[in-house]
Structure 1
């Protein structure tokens, strides 16, 4: 039980990678509070999981929700997983697109870290941010998304440095493509009738020959948020099937 007697907040924890992290943390003994924008989101099972409707881009709402959680119990872990994507180069990115991605992928992480940092200082807890391979290398038609994920990486370094004397660790994970329902929905919408063909094509962009499984990312998150990683901070961990160093 890697996280026994620990309390975690996970943003976007009711779907995709976030859901996998939620389930792995709960299965390993953590009390998990999920912040999810969708009202009425549910997670099956009898594990110690509580869902709070919260838009991470809303500064006051984040502070209100997290304030209630941390008034009731100590906080040990914050996982900033919530994020949104956009496809397009700079010419294909509108001001509204940029603002939308900034509000969730950058401001959302700022809001959550600011609301959690004092409780985490009390427990000498840890923060884990979800970055991306695009924090390290450029890929076509991901201008706005790349910009925001670059900021996630540098926020990780900054927070780790600012709070090392308080005993708060801050790391990030940089996944390549992960097979989630988002991928299936994207293929169904953009390549109807060719989903299988395009899935194989996208899978092969990882040198290892497949997409990651959400549970593989979750297991890395479990390690980095456990006491076994107590000596690790200010570090990004690619989980990319060789994408960064072999493809580039």
Structure 2
């Protein structure tokens, strides 16, 4: 075995061990074979105020057909000035793996440290509905296994802040949600299933590798769009030649399934 191949196999084993350890520590994480990576960013349309501070505590998702919600994972909680999130600026609230499937809603949970600054004076920003049930944003997005999705939550401050007079302000959130799939994935099966093989997609600038599972199935996740050469390598002790599959096309937001590979 060459030094480069030995290094790649060792690195892949370390990554597998690391992912398994994270899954044991965080019950919100799902297995890589049935999960999608999701990030949620907060941005803002300008408003006619000096500052609008929103206290973000959690981000939850609701799957279609389910009443319960799940947390996307550890959140970058904090108090954010929406008026600073313009001109391309944003804040990354969460980036984690969750179960694939159709999600109908994202809920932004706010704390009670929400304020607004007008003419140099700071006033409480009342958000009674947000504190009780959260800011619900309908998305209706199907998450494909192995694909990375970025959700952008765009606050319209002018439409969201209601001046009630006598220094009283309330937040009636108007949020526009957009979704961008940032990568694709490649999946397939390698036979015989009892042989653990390493599958690598490469195109000269990007290289993504993974091992087959006990059933011979592999999933290369988070693969940037492009054309790749797929190389399947069985355990070196078996002395089997690698199988090379050229021109495997990966598209953003989709999963490319290749024909079953038989090692001989």
Please give the range of the TM-score, normalised by the shorter of the 2 chains.
under 0.3
* Bigger-Rg structure (1/2): 2
Structure that is richer in strand per residue = 2
Q: Structure 2 length as normaliser, TM-score? A: 0.25
- Highest relative contact order (Cα 8 Å, sep 6+), 1 or 2? 1
Q: Structure 1 length as normaliser, TM-score? A: 0.26
